[in-house]
Chain A
Amino acid sequence: MRDFICGKIKKIKPSGIRRLFDIASEIPDVISLGVGEPDFDTPWHIREEGIYSLHKGRTFYTSNSGLIELRAEIAAFMRRKYGLTYDPEKEIVVTVGGSEAIDIALRATLDPGDEVAYPEPCFVSYEPCILLSDGVPVPIALSSETEFRLTPELLEAAVTPKTKALLISYPNNPTGAIMEREDLEKLAPVILKHDLLVISDEIYSELSYKERHVSIASLPGMRERTVVINGFSKSYAMTGWRLGFACAPAEIIKYMLKVHQFGIMSAPTMSQYAAVSALRNGDKDIAVMAESYNQRRRFLMERFREMKLPCFEPYGAFYAFPDISEFGMSSEEFCEALLKAENVAVVPGSAFGACGDGHVRISYAYSIEALKEAMSRLARFVEKMRAK
């Protein structure tokens, strides 16, 4: 029989944490700090709106771009939070999570062989999504020395005549790194010089603890070449609702919408109604959750300092990315040993790109009680490893 599987798909590597997950799922009292999603419930007013939309029988397709009232709220959100103005009619598309928005942005813009530069470590799906769009992934290795911020020099070195786009994600998963306004301002001239499209995944934008998040699209000359991706999963604790959005100039959205309408049709209707309530009434929910994450972040960093585990100060998302290279193991080996010795699951940094090796990703979307217990186990493990 013929091999029915597409060669392109075969080349895509499986997620680097599967094996660890299999081991972790069999240990009954494992403390996992591996989960990359909020531990808060979706605020009740949002859930209620979703339920109400079902009661009202709003169970049919919406417009391909999404409910117009939701797009209007998204436009208001972008203006209120990041000073960006988008036309709800033509410059916004509602997607099935931020992930779909990234996918359709790449598929709508890449021709075969186009290179996409992106800083690593990064969210696991960037490379596969670029490959699925027939693009060529060009990772830019970052390090904790520059707090995992993308510098103009590193970008300049990665750009070739084939580079079409730069894909960035700040605040960052897995490092928790942020890019401040001045970092972005330094990057912009390189982007303009090489006439690049920017796909800016800002899904963690509301979880920024040092200063308010700045969208790269708000810098001079950048809006017309930027697709801003955002969504509800992280800010509003709505991961399972699968709802995101993209904002970009009409000419780009038009083609993203083409991919979206033939592949997806439209995002789930009840999720869209729930999201309207999230944007209208959810600012205080975001503030409460963000403050709680910030407290946990500080707590975690203090514990790292006590156990002398080097970790640059992460100011965004809900991850810390401590350096475990002193133990002379790969990050995967470290995670497996920690899991077996102390029943604590964390994610190897290498799962987010080769340059993430030597680090582990620790999510602090957990209660202080869980973090406290996990940190005393980690401290014990680190001490034992150092005594060896």
Chain B
Amino acid sequence: MEGKTREEILRLLEANARYTAKDIAAMLGMEEEEVKNEIEAMERERVICGYHALVDWDKTDDEKISALVELKVTPQRGDGFERIAEKIYQYPEVESLYLMSGGYDFTVILKKATMKEIANFVSSRLAVIEEVQSTATHIVLARYKDHGMQLAAPKKDMRMVVTP
């Protein structure tokens, strides 16, 4: 299958993981079986790594907070940043981990937790890793847009019901 169609399937699934293979097949003018096979292949190849709901937790009773930690580290001879990254992403508290260019090395996005849990994790787990030089923890105050979706202001259809 050509790369473009794979990308099209991925783009649709990224926008709405609940689209069925039948829906996607109809939208792309393909056979349902073909779409199913392609999705399965991409799952096997870990191109598709999982399916998630995009939740606006601010609308729930959950009072936990999200945090982002900037880490400056000392890269290791032979392994560069890989081994340090491995140490960090093994923690279930870590939601995402990116190696960055610029003023610091890693961005660690933590799973929602209480302030106390975040403080504990940063001070007793991240900051004490041998290669870590410094940490800077930022608390997310509000989320307006995530994964390309506006969370704060849901779109309202303001068109007239019927026009010529």
- 24 sample A-B contacts, Cβ–Cβ < 8 Å, listed by A number: A15-B164, A21-B160, A21-B161, A24-B161, A24-B162, A25-B161, A25-B162, A30-B161, A32-B162, A35-B163, A36-B164, A39-B157, A41-B155, A125-B164, A295-B12, A295-B28, A298-B28, A299-B23, A299-B27, A345-B162, A347-B164, A368-B19, A368-B27, A372-B23
> What does the 1/0 interface line of A10-37 toward B look like (CB < 8 Å)?
0000010100110011000010101111
Could you tell me the distance between the alpha carbons of A123 and B164 in the complex, rounded to whole angstroms? 8
Q: Do B162 and A302 touch across chains, with their CB atoms under 8 A apart?
A: no
Which parts of A296-315 form the interface with B (CB within 8 Å)?
296, 298-299, 302-303
Could you tell me the distance between the alpha carbons of A121 and B104 in the complex, rounded to whole angstroms? 63
Q: A30-B161, A35-B160, A368-B16 are in contact. List 4 more A-B contacts (CB 8 A).
A: A34-B161, A298-B28, A299-B23, A368-B19
Residue of A nearest to B22 (CB): A302
B77 sits at the interface (CB 8 A): no
Residues in A with CB closer than 8 Å to B163 are 34-37
CB distance from A127 to the nearest CB of B (A): 12
Q: Do B27 and A296 touch across chains, with their CB atoms under 8 A apart?
A: yes
Residues in B with CB closer than 8 Å to A368 are 16, 19, 23, 27
Residues in A with CB closer than 8 Å to B12 are 295
B116 sits at the interface (CB 8 A): no
CB distance from B21 to the nearest CB of A (A): 13
CB distance from A124 to the nearest CB of B (A): 4
Number of A interface residues in the complex (CB < 8 A): 29
Q: Do B162 and A35 touch across chains, with their CB atoms under 8 A apart?
A: yes
Which parts of A83-138 form the interface with B (CB within 8 Å)?
123-125
With known contacts A368-B23, A372-B23, A17–B164 Cβ distance under 8 A: yes
Number of B interface residues in the complex (CB < 8 A): 17
Residues in A with CB closer than 8 Å to B29 are 298
> What does the 1/0 interface line of B132-164 toward A look like (CB < 8 Å)?
000000000000000000000001010111111
Could you tell me the distance between the alpha carbons of A46 and B160 in the complex, rounded to whole angstroms? 23
With known contacts A41-B155, A368-B19, A295–B162 Cβ distance under 8 A: no
B26 sits at the interface (CB 8 A): yes
Residue of B nearest to A370 (CB): B157
Residues in B with CB closer than 8 Å to A372 are 23
Which residues on A are within 8 Å of B, measured CB to CB?
A: 15, 17, 20-21, 24-25, 30, 32, 34-37, 39, 41, 123-125, 295-296, 298-299, 302-303, 345, 347, 351-352, 368, 372
Which 6 A-B residue pairs are closest in the complex by CB-CB distance? A34-B162, A302-B26, A295-B27, A124-B164, A21-B162, A299-B26
Residues in B with CB closer than 8 Å to A34 are 161-163
Residues in B with CB closer than 8 Å to A24 are 161-162
Residues in A with CB closer than 8 Å to B16 are 368
Residues in B with CB closer than 8 Å to A41 are 155
Q: Do A37 and B159 touch across chains, with their CB atoms under 8 A apart?
A: yes
CB distance from B118 to the nearest CB of A (A): 34
Residue of A nearest to B11 (CB): A291
Residue of B nearest to A351 (CB): B164
Could you tell me the distance between the alpha carbons of A157 and B160 in the complex, rounded to whole angstroms? 39
Could you tell me the distance between the alpha carbons of A32 and B163 in the complex, rounded to whole angstroms? 10
Residues in B with CB closer than 8 Å to A345 are 161-162
Residues in B with CB closer than 8 Å to A302 are 25-26
Residues in B with CB closer than 8 Å to A295 are 12, 27-28
CB distance from A147 to the nearest CB of B (A): 18
Could you tell me the distance between the alpha carbons of A296 and B29 in the complex, rounded to whole angstroms? 10
Residue of A nearest to B20 (CB): A372
Could you tell me the distance between the alpha carbons of A310 and B28 in the complex, rounded to whole angstroms? 20
Could you tell me the distance between the alpha carbons of A368 and B23 in the complex, rounded to whole angstroms? 9
Residue of A nearest to B159 (CB): A35
CB distance from A353 to the nearest CB of B (A): 12
Q: Do B157 and A20 touch across chains, with their CB atoms under 8 A apart?
A: no
Could you tell me the distance between the alpha carbons of A125 and B164 in the complex, rounded to whole angstroms? 9
Residues in B with CB closer than 8 Å to A351 are 164
Q: Do B161 and A32 touch across chains, with their CB atoms under 8 A apart?
A: yes
